[in-house]
């Protein structure tokens, strides 16, 4: 029996091979490996696509978050790092990097609970957690679906807080017709190979409409100065590689097609599985343009469910088994509010294969396997 993978990166490469190979060949010709012309071209292309003023390539989604927060500490406090008393509110139901970036910026993560239907941070809980020490909010658009950006931006404006959008899982996603990454103070993207727009290695980008922040981020990612031999700030070597930018430029041509393919597969899953007892399919909120980085269902019997799917040759993954406040790294370094929705979700969620190029027959096999499992 042929195993159905979560994703088929080789298949995607074959589909785009001509364009990707040509892009790499161009780099081999010019040999401008550090901040070469492809980095600038990708930054301009993505900024225009998002409707944001600046796109700043960097080495990963994690570094995009750290660079954003460090630049915000410099801009808002005139300090290299935030103080330990500075609080940044986010979700515990995310990849480690979201919370880790807060620690690396010097601030304290404040974890508030998710909405159990969308798995995204619940704005009502943000409101309750705001204190005089709150400096910002990091909404994470989990699985490809936007958070409620109207309520989050309204709260942030009223309380003078920054909003750093974590868009690692939602490239191309939107909120009320606006692209994610054009709404918050900054938007942070990951080009990790499995992401909707993924490179051939690590990569990331920050989007922003703020000129001063953009300039600071550009300095920080190149060692902390305009001149790398005479620097002003504690910086990083966190540039986006020319080669990654070239691959991403080639793959960017397919992003709308691929996101639409994901949405079509998700619709097929939803249509077939919505009424099936024992599982809950994803809910798409009307104002969000969901790009289904993951198709995630929940079931009370996850271990047995995954074992059964495996027997039927269907891969599954759990994003994420541990909410951040349960991890040692955050022990004693965070504020944890009531997080019972996140804790329950962590024991029940399971993601199904959603490879954009997966054919109908494969989608049907997954559906049958899910039905058999429950």
Site for ligand PLP, rule CB under 6 A: 60-62, 94-95, 97-98, 140, 166, 168-169, 190, 192, 202, 204
The CB-of-181 to ligand PLP minimum distance in angstroms stands at: 13
Identify which of 143, 151, 194 has the alpha carbon closest to the alpha carbon of residue 167: 143
For residue 254, give every residue at least 6 positions away whose Cβ sits within 8 Å of its Cβ, in sequence order, or none: 15, 16
| Gap between the Cα atoms of 129 and 259, Å rounded | 34
Q: Pick the closer one to ligand PLP by CB: 108 or 141.
A: 141
Q: Pick the closer one to ligand PLP by CB: 192 or 252.
A: 192
The CB-of-94 to ligand PLP minimum distance in angstroms stands at: 5
Q: Pick the closer one to ligand PLP by CB: 73 or 101.
A: 101
As a dihedral over the C-alpha atoms of residue 124, residue 324, residue 137, residue 224, rounded to 10 degrees, the angle is 180
Q: Pick the closer one to ligand PLP by CB: 142 or 352.
A: 142
Q: Pick the closer one to ligand PLP by CB: 90 or 208.
A: 90
Q: Pick the closer one to ligand PLP by CB: 346 or 370.
A: 346
Q: Pick the closer one to ligand PLP by CB: 147 or 161.
A: 147
| Residue 228, number of CB atoms within 10 A of its CB | 12
The CB-of-266 to ligand PLP minimum distance in angstroms stands at: 18
**Residue at shortest CB range from ligand PLP:** 61
To which residue do tokens 């027959």 refer?
361
The CB-of-29 to ligand PLP minimum distance in angstroms stands at: 28
296 phi/psi in degrees, rounded to 5:
-115, 125
For residue 242, give every residue at least 6 positions away whose Cβ sits within 8 Å of its Cβ, in sequence order, or none: 27, 32, 33, 34, 35, 36, 37, 38, 39
| Residue 130, number of CB atoms within 10 A of its CB | 18
To which residue do tokens 């009370």 refer?
300
The CB-of-131 to ligand PLP minimum distance in angstroms stands at: 25
| Gap between the Cα atoms of 173 and 183, Å rounded | 12
Residues 164/141, Cβ–Cβ less than 8 Å: no
| Gap between the Cα atoms of 191 and 343, Å rounded | 28
Q: Pick the closer one to ligand PLP by CB: 82 or 192.
A: 192
In terms of phi and psi (left: phi > 0; alpha: psi -120 to 50; beta: otherwise), the region of 169 is alpha
The CB-of-78 to ligand PLP minimum distance in angstroms stands at: 27
């Amino acid at each position: 029996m042929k195993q159905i993978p979560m994703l088929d990166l080789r298949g995607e490469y074959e589909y785009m091979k001509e364009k990707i190979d040509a892009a790499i060949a161009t780099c081999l010709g010019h040999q401008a490996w550090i901040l070469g012309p492809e980095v600038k071209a990708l930054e301009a292309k993505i900024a225009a696509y998002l409707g944001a003023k600046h796109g700043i390539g960097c080495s990963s989604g994690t570094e995009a978050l750290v660079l954003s927060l460090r630049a915000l500490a410099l801009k808002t406090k005139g300090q290299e790092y935030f103080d330990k008393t500075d609080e940044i509110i986010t979700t515990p139901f995310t990849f480690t990097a979201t919370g880790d970036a807060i620690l690396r910026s010097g601030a304290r993560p404040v974890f508030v609970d998710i909405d159990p239907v969308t798995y995204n941070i619940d704005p009502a809980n943000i409101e309750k957690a705001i204190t005089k020490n709150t400096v910002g909010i990091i909404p994470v658009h989990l699985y490809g679906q936007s958070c409620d950006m109207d309520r989050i931006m309204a709260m942030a404006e009223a309380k003078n807080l920054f909003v750093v959008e974590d868009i690692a899982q939602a490239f191309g996603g939107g909120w009320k017709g606006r692209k994610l990454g054009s709404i918050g103070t900054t938007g942070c993207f990951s080009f990790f190979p499995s992401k909707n727009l993924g490179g051939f290695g690590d990569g990331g980008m920050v989007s922003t409409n703020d000129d001063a922040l953009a300039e600071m981020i550009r300095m920080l990612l190149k060692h902390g100065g305009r001149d790398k031999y005479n620097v002003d700030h504690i910086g990083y070597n966190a540039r986006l590689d020319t080669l990654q930018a070239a691959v991403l430029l080639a793959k960017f041509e397919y992003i709308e097609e691929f996101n639409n393919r994901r949405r079509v597969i998700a619709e097929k899953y939803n249509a077939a599985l919505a009424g099936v007892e024992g599982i809950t399919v994803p809910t798409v909120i009307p104002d969000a343009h969901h790009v289904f980085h993951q198709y995630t269902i929940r079931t009370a019997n996850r271990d047995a469910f995954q074992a059964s799917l495996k027997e039927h040759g269907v891969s599954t993954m759990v994003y994420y088994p541990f909410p951040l406040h349960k991890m040692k790294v955050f022990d004693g370094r965070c504020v944890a509010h009531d997080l019972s929705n996140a804790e329950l979700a962590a024991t029940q969620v399971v993601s199904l294969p959603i490879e954009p190029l997966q054919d109908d027959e494969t989608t049907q096999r997954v559906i049958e396997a899910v039905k058999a499992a429950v």
